[in-house]
Structure formats: C-alpha cells, structure tokens
Amino acid sequence: MLAGSHLDVLVALLAVAALTWLYRRDVRGDRTAREAMFGQCSALFDPVLIKPRLGDYPILVGRYCGHDVRLEPVSDTLAWRKLPSLWLKVTVLARNPGSGVLDVLMRPLGTEYYSPSADLPERIPLPPDWPREAILCTSDRSTAPDPDRLTPHLHLFDDPKMKELVITPEGTRIVYQLDQAARPYYMVMRQVKFARSTVQPDLARTLLDSVIAVGQSMSIPARQAA
C-alpha cells in the first residue's frame, strides 16, 4: 500500500502526464490543420509552392492565369472586445503604374497591423458613392492611382468579409476574412478556434480574379478608363 505522500506524488505525476499527452495531441492536430490550409486549392496554380512557417499558417506562392500570386493567412487577435479573425491576404504581383500607394480599409480599428494604412500620411475624403465604413489613404495623392478607377470594383465591399484593398507599384492586394473565432471558446479561455481553416478553390479563384481585375483597371490608360 502506498504511503500517503507517495500517493500524492503519483497522482500529481499522472496528472502532469495526462496534460502533457493532451497538449501534444492538440499541437499535432493544430499543426496538421494549418498545413492543410491550401490543400484543396493548390491545383489552381502552376507552378505552386507552399511555404511552411513554424508555428504559423503556410504561405502559397505560385502562378495563376499568367500572374504571380501570393496567398498569406494572417491571424488577428489584437482587436479589443472583438472576436479574432483569420484574414487571407491575396496578392497579385504585377506592376501598377505610378509610384504611390492607395489603400481602402473597411471598418478601421487602428489595430490592423497587417495593413499599411496606419503609415500612409494622406487621407482622401471618401467620394459620395463609396461605402461609408471605409477610409481611403495614400502615400502621395499626386503619384498614387486615381481612386475613381476603383469605382467599377466597389461592389467588392458589399461583402462584409472584404477588409482591405491595397494598390502599390509592386502589385495589388485584397484582404478577406476567411473565418472568425468561435465565440464560446474565446469568451471562456480567450482561446482562438477557427472552424474553417482551409481555402476553398471557388473562393480562391473568385478572390484572385477580383484582384486581377482591379490591377488591370489600374493599367488602362486614363482616356480609356474615362
């Protein structure tokens, strides 16, 4: 019969072992889920390279319809009193005319660390028919793309998951909400659980086509655009 103190130690060790097993099981499960992020949509790209990141979601770089593209998931847990979001940055690397940056950010909170908007010095008043929850920022109005060129694409912001549209000399990017943390888990333990952590082919295709269309609008000569 074990003495009382030995029994206490044994129980404590068993508890630690059980917790360790639980932890390792969950780590493996989470890593597997993250690595499968682009498993279903990778066939859209040729060639394609999925770059794993230790302790983070992988990044996909590849070629889609003749364009170099990059898909990068970003987890955002920094907004206060707001459920965390899993954003997908969809970037088409095709040069745009001009040397300035134009940024349309929806529902700005000031905590969007993945957005260049906080560092852009100029804020442009929103044109009348633009969504009122947006802010429009630029690095230099004289060298950035004309915001009016985005008018045919404003329907993109009808989707509340659309967060940002950025146009830089190096390319065009949208930021789209892939998922939002499950409320009960976050409320109890501030634990972030995303139910949907894979990019579906239809979604990827639609987002990429949208970004390509925006980029092509930037390249149309001014007279043709008008």
Partner 1 sequence: MSDAAITQSPPVTGEHVNLLKVLGPIHVWGLGVGIVLVGEFMGWNYGVGKGGAFGALISCWVIGLLYTCVAMIDSEITSTVAAAGGQYAQAKHTIGPLMAFNVGLFMVLTYTMLNASDIQVAGQLVQIGAQQLGHDIPWQPFTVLALAMLTLLNYRGVFATLTVNFVITAAAFLTIIVLFIGVQPWNPTAVLLHKELLTSLPYGWLGVIASLHFGIWYYLGIEGTCQAAEEVRSPGRALPLGTMSGMITLLIAAAITWYVTVGLLPWEYIGWDAELAPLYDAARMTASPFIIVVLFIGTLLSAIASANGCINDASRAWFSMGRDRYLPAWFGAVHPKYRTPYRSILFLTPIAALFALYIPLAQIITFSILSGLLNYTFMPLNMWKFRRKWPVGTIRRGFEHPFHPVPAIVLMILCVTTFFAVYLGYGRQLLAMMGFYIIASVWFAFYRYRYVRRGNQFTMPWPRPQGY
Here the tokens at position 53 are: 């990141």
**H runs (alpha helix) in 2-75:** 4-35
Residue with Cβ nearer partner 1 (83 or 169) = 83
> Which amino acid type is present at position 16?
V
Residue with Cβ nearer partner 1 (131 or 169) = 131
Residue with Cβ nearer partner 1 (3 or 222) = 3
Q: How far is the CB of 97 from partner 1 (least distance, A)?
A: 26
Q: How far is the CB of 142 from partner 1 (least distance, A)?
A: 20
Between CA 140 and CA 118 the distance in angstroms is 14
* Cis? peptide before 47, omega within 30° of 0: yes
Here the tokens at position 8 are: 């206490």
Grouping H, G, I as helix, E, B as strand and the rest as coil, residue 124 is: strand
Between CA 57 and CA 89 the distance in angstroms is 12
Give me the phi and psi of 98, to 5 degrees please. Answer: 85, 170
Q: How far is the CB of 172 from partner 1 (least distance, A)?
A: 15
Q: How far is the CB of 65 from partner 1 (least distance, A)?
A: 17
Here the tokens at position 115 are: 């957005």
Q: Compute the Cα dihedral for 69, 204, 79, 150 and give only its sign.
A: positive
Q: How far is the CB of 139 from partner 1 (least distance, A)?
A: 16
Q: How far is the CB of 23 from partner 1 (least distance, A)?
A: 6
Residue with Cβ nearer partner 1 (116 or 169) = 116
Residue with Cβ nearer partner 1 (70 or 98) = 70
Q: Compute the Cα dihedral for 168, 166, 215, 42 and give only its sign.
A: positive
Under the rule (CB under 8 A), what is the footprint of partner 1?
4-5, 8, 22-23, 26-27, 30, 55-56, 74-85, 107-111, 113, 118, 123, 131-133, 135, 156, 159-163, 176-177, 180, 182-192, 195, 202-203, 206-207, 210
Residue with Cβ nearer partner 1 (23 or 127) = 23
